[in-house]
Amino acid sequence: NDQDLSIPDTGVTREYDFTVTYQDIAPDGVTKRGVLVNGQFPGPLIEANWGDWIQVTVHNGLGVEEGEGTSMHWHGFLQKESQWMDGVPGVQQCPITPNDSFTYRFRAEQYGTSWYHSHYSAQYAGGAAGPLVVYGPDSGGYDIDLGPVMLSDWYHAQYYDIVKETMQADPTGQNPTPPPASDNNLINGYGEFDCSTTDLPCVPDAGVAKFKFTAGKKHRLRLVNTGAEAMQRFSIDGHTMTVIAHDFVPVQPFQVTALTLGVGQRADVIVEATGKPSESYWMRSDIGLDGCNAFNPAASEALAVVLYDDADPNGVPASTAQPDSRLAVCKNDDISLGLPLHPTMPDPSPSVTTELHITNEWNGTHWLWHFGGPSYRADFNDALLYQIQQGNAEFGPQSNVHDFGSNKSVRFVIYNDTPAPHPMHMHGHNFWVLADGVGRWDGTTANPGNPQFRDVHILQPAPTGSSSYMVIQIELDNPGLWPFHCHIAWHVSAGLYLNMLERPDDIKKLPIPSSFGDQCKVWGDYTATNPVDQIDSGLKRKDMSPGLRRKSMYF
């Protein structure tokens, strides 16, 4: 990635202080208990300039009675100068114990749009997430930066209850329990809900997000899919968007009237305000496609309002949707578009090519996902990266570690043998997207001289009786233990996750602070007297049953 060749040394540290707590919220009018950062949903915006250091102290205020740890992951950051700050419990750190804190410090090595979120179980699906913007070179030519536009499916049930439900079987014991339908779809934490359809506490007319356009000006919108499951189809009535970045990668600009984002994906777009000063328009994000998302048909389309300078702020837009505003296929848009602005080319003969399959199975008590090996199961009492650095690492099968040794590059040929889509996210790397499709990969690659380059790509559902595939490639240039997983919260909770061990000999040279070992001791001491119930790939909350001891690492 050409971005990392000349990172400016600004000498600046941007400091933030976060407290994660449970609080009642009602973003769509329905009250639920949310997991919030600084009492906000979405969480506070982190801002930095390219080359700055970002320092965030995270306090776990969830309460000892809940028995929940927490952590924070900085989505899309490569962490090449701080591989131990990625924020994944059981990998780079142990969880932050209730009433304790942890300070993250990492460099803004890339620029563009991203987000942060808890990586403790599916906690972020309860609200523990927020936007993150790194300002850098302008590749698009715009007048006004309107900031992050966060797109998120929304559930009125508690995330813990949803995970527990989706890990179980249907009454026959033979089939997975389908993930529950989301109750709503939100833009920047706002959405309307029909209170007559629920028995939960609900106040109507919760309101929608509003964005101000100035006629004749070009506006930058920073789109982020921060949802738990749903693929989003984003559009603005009557306006064309110019895409200038995918994830943290500036791209050769291309125009669309709608675009698709899987969970974890970002797109920076420029929208020229071609309407009249008195007009208003609907902004839309749609998740309503059966077999792609589980959704509430009455609330599958999130709406926000675009107001021009002289528009009635209380008026209702009369605009009509773009012809392609509805989600029609469970996949990303054409990979021949969105090519890196700064061309990059993968090694045509990678050191290693590995074939991985995504499957699921019933083990007698739970439905589990597999990704190239055993279903993943975290041990939050150990931080594996720290153990590797100390020379003490032992990997049980439940860690699903793929050791690439000192190889220079790896190509992954990934087959989805299930009828569900999977937005696949890799930590510590951007990857080249060489091919995607259905059936067997025939060896051809798209744009071999400059393929798409990003950190999330949607692996589409497998057709009946066949498979789907995606082919990606990375340079093994970042010593560490890097998670690679589906970003659907319920899938990663059920083990759709592997760890990439990269240059283990160099890991031993990393200056990982001894405080990481100390933190694991604190967590171990806490769980010794406050046992927790582990129902998924990550630890959960305290079990109140008397006499309970720590659960086995296996289901």
- Which pLDDT tens digit goes with each residue over 361-371? 887 777 789 99
Residue 35 domain flag: yes
Task: Look at 418 and 539; give whichever has higher pLDDT.
Answer: 418
Does 245 map to a domain? yes
**Closest to 231 (Cα-Cα) out of 30, 462, 456:** 456
The residue-averaged pLDDT of 209-225 equals 98
Confidence of residue 536 (pLDDT cuts 50, 70, 90): low
pLDDT for residue 393 is more than 70 = yes
pLDDT, average across residues 397-414: 97
Helices (H) and strands (E) in the chain, counts: 5, 30
**235 and 292 housed in the same domain:** yes
Residue 514 lies in a domain: no
Q: Are residues 149 and 104 in the same domain?
A: no
Regarding whether 180 and 94 lie in a shared domain, the answer is: no
Q: 457 CB contacts (<8 Å, ≥6 apart)?
A: 262, 332, 423, 424, 431, 433, 436, 470, 472
Q: What mean pLDDT is reported for the chain?
A: 92
Do residue 468 and residue 436 come from a single domain? yes
Instruction: Supply the pLDDT for residue 22.
Output: 96
pLDDT in tens, 127-157: 999 999 999 998 779 999 999 999 999 999 9
| Structural domain that includes position 443 | 352-508
* 14 located within any domain: yes
Kindly report the number of other CB atoms within 10 A of residue 485's CB atom.
25
- 134 vs 249: CA distance, rounded Å: 12
Are 242 and 100 found together in one domain? no
Give yes or no: residues 143 and 130 share one domain: no
Indicate which CATH number applies to the domain containing 383: 2.60.40.420
**Is 499 inside a domain boundary?**
yes
pLDDT confidence band for 312 (50 / 70 / 90)? very high
Q: How many domains does the chain fold into? A: 3
Query: Does residue 434 sit in the same domain as residue 372?
Result: yes
Q: What is the pTM of this model?
A: 0.94
The reply to whether 358 and 495 lie within a common domain is yes
Which of 508, 523, 545 is the C-terminal boundary of a domain?
Answer: 508
Closest CA to 293 of 163, 184, 148: 184
pLDDT interval class at 178 (50, 70, 90): confident
pLDDT at 167 over 90: no
Per-residue pLDDT for 377 more than 60?
yes
Neighbours of 544 (CB within 10 A): 10
**Do 289 and 372 share a structural domain?**
no
Burial string for 383-414 (b: 16+ CB within 10 Å, else e) reads bbbbbbbeeebeeeebbbbbebeeeebbbbbb
Last residue of a domain, one of 74, 103, 137: 137
Which pLDDT band, with edges at 50, 70 and 90, does 547 fall under? very low
CA dihedral 135, 136, 139, 140 (to 10 degrees): 20
Q: Are residues 133 and 199 in the same domain?
A: no
Note whether residue 516 is domain-resident: no
pLDDT value, residue 546: 30
Query: What is the per-residue pLDDT for 538?
Result: 52
What is the tens place of the pLDDT at every residue in 39-88? 999 999 999 999 999 999 999 999 877 779 999 999 999 999 999 999 99
Q: Tell whether 342 is covered by a domain.
A: no
Average pLDDT on 233-262 reads 98
pLDDT in tens, 442-462: 999 999 999 999 999 999 999
On whether residue 518 sits in a domain, the answer given is no
CA–chain centroid gap for 22, Å, is 21
For residues 89 and 133, membership in a common domain is answered with yes
pLDDT confidence band for 96 (50 / 70 / 90)? very high
144 with 32, same domain: the answer is no
Check pLDDT > 80 for residue 533. no
